[in-house]
Amino acid sequence: MAEEKQTENQENEATPLNDEEVDVEVIEPEDDVVEVDETATESVADEIADLKQQLSDADDKFLRAQAEMQNMQTRLAKEQAQALKYANQKLGLAVLPALDNLERALQVEADDDASEQLKKGVEMVFGTLKQALSDNGIKEVGQVGETFDPNYAQAIQSVPADDEHPADTIASVMQKGYMLEDRVIRPAMVAVYN
């Protein structure tokens, strides 16, 4: 009985589990190489080179535009700072003739008590106005005895120099000059020793 089981097992091993046959087809690689068209390769290479050039040009334009924007922002900031710095120029120029007139009024001699009181009032207004200009960066230039500088004063008369008064110094001031910060807003009209 043991022999019968052993032969039966061998028969079962020899027969496939299902009765279908399996066909296996082996695909062998082809030895043919695909040929590439050289003109197509050159065309693609030319297109790549063209696209690289376009990208380079676009990058260059972008960098130039960015630099231009930074320059514009810097220029605008400078212009705003300068406009703020010299904002009082127009007002100063408008007030200077009134200041000149007040100074001329102070040169008139007071005859009586009423005139003296009026003169004191004019002195107070003159002092207040002069202080307001000074507080806003407007300063007087071109004083008698200073060395003549054509950047700050305009010579309208020449006076002969002597031992007490050296050449190129201011002899007298006909109209006071003023500066706002570092800019002359009205040059002084002066007589200069020669």
- Domain ranges within the chain, ordered by starting residue: 45-86, 87-193
* CATH class for the domain made up of 87-193: mainly beta
pLDDT band at residue 31 under the 50/70/90 scheme:
low
How far apart CA 166 and CA 105 sit, in angstroms, is 32
pLDDT of 33: 55
Q: pTM score > 0.75 for this model?
A: no
> By three-state DSSP, how is residue 158 classified?
strand
pLDDT of 63: 97
